[in-house]
Structure 1
């Protein structure tokens, strides 16, 4: 495995991204599975330390967006996903009624609620504040993490 060069700059840019993403809410705002990935390149697969930093960034972004959604007058769902292997799929999502489709509220029947988080990052997720579910397919596990206080449950 090659050495991760430019790590300091990479993480500075990651956190700058987290702290500048805005939903641009207005009277006509809606979300059709709006989402953003923080690790397009799969950098978090290099080490557990890097992985944990990305999960912290997703949590911070999710909390930032929830704060913005307090002003949103429509119903919405917001959650973030953490994939156990393919880290470039980790993302934060916002969904609301929209003119594109009638898929609101989004429901995933196969979700297993109150599943155990992996030891590698369970200390990062406050289960007093978040609902946790997992979805298993093809040997992969995806963790869906959602606020207990805000938004409609998946």
Structure 2
């Protein structure tokens, strides 16, 4: 078949996804200083685009890393924003952001206009996942051609 490629090693991929800490692979403290919008993606290949069963492990890892950063940022000593952006259907674009003030960049704190507290997502599986999260503030919007959800915790960094 033309265009069909079997993905080998997915069992090992998902096992490693559940146990690895990506912050041990690089010094994230150096990365966020270089760019005002440092972020990290967890589903680079878009495995979760067509299946929530494949997307959920990536989301679990994203939220695990968010909690790690909540603890790590307590010692930063600067203002910052820490948030998660989930897109309706594009799992590869789900990301975790650490946004500090950067010289020559006046977009701090980062703000998005027209955010709502009611969902704009059409994907029922991702909506249910978000609804079951505890302790997160949830803001919804749409940009371009896809709806998104912005999640953050109160009393962690500068709020939206």
Larger helix proportion of the pair:
2
Determine which of 9, 12, 33 is the counterpart of 2:12.
9
* Structure 2 CA distance for aligned equivalents of residues 96 and 49 of structure 1: 34
Structure 2, gaps ≥5 residues long: none
CA distance in 2 between counterparts of 1:108 and 1:35 reads 17
Q: Shift of residue 20 of structure 1? A: 2.4
State the aligned residue count. Answer: 151
Q: CA 1:59 to 1:135, structure 2 compared with 1: closer, same or farther past 3 Å?
A: same
Task: Write the distance in 2 (CA, Å) between the matches of 1:134 and 1:8.
Answer: 33
User: Gapped runs of 5+ residues in structure 1?
Assistant: none
TM-score, normalised via structure 1 length: 0.82
Could you say if the C-alpha distance between residues 59 and 74 of structure 1 is closer, same or farther in structure 2, counting changes exceeding 3 Å?
same
Residue 69 of structure 1: CA displacement? Answer: 0.3
Alignment root-mean-square deviation, CA: 2.5
Aligned residue for 1:70, secondary structure, equals helix
Equivalent residue in structure 2 for 1:146, among 148, 152, 155: 152
Please give the TM-score of this superposition, normalised by the length of structure 2: 0.79
